[in-house]
């Protein structure tokens, strides 16, 4: 998948997610935006990749369905907004099956989805 195709996929998914009453309620707060400005996009992307690899990538993540806090880091907010918070949501919204470890490509997709949502939020 080219970068342009990936961005189009993210844009289409963000439109779909915006139609969900639950998902559309999530937004970055002022302190989240300030954190991103202070840390920079590369650091935030590193945090996202770390959270995904540790909390989502295993076939059976610890506390699956409850492993992503509702606040405390902009990536956590993005995970809920984009349905990348647990393996059940990943399967329902993104078609990524439960019960098998996430591939490197799937992890890149998820981090890209999170970053795409946060970049849109920073524009608002």
98-107 pLDDT per residue, tens: 999 999 999 9
- What whole-number distance in Å separates Cα of residue 90 and Cα of residue 113? 11
Alpha helices in the chain (DSSP H): 3-18, 30-39, 41-51, 74-81, 87-94, 104-123
Structural domain total, the chain = 1
| d(C-alpha 124, C-alpha 110), whole Å | 22
E strand or H helix that includes residue 75: helix 74-81
Residue-number span of the structural domain to which 64 is assigned:
3-123
> What is the chain's length?
124
Q: What is the pTM of this model?
A: 0.91
pLDDT tens-digit map of 48-87: 999 999 999 999 998 888 888 888 899 999 999 999 999 9
């Amino acid at each position: 998948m080219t970068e342009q195709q990936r961005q189009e996929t993210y844009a289409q998914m963000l439109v779909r997610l915006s139609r969900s009453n639950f998902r559309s309620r999530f937004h970055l707060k002022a302190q989240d935006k300030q954190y991103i400005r202070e840390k920079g996009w590369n650091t935030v992307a590193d945090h996202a990749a770390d959270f995904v690899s540790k909390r989502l990538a295993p076939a059976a993540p610890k506390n699956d369905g409850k492993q992503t806090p509702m606040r405390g880091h902009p990536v956590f907010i993005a995970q809920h907004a984009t349905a990348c918070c647990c393996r059940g949501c990943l399967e329902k919204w993104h078609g990524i099956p439960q019960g098998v470890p996430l591939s490197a490509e799937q992890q890149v997709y998820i981090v890209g989805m999170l970053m795409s949502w946060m970049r849109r939020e920073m524009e608002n």
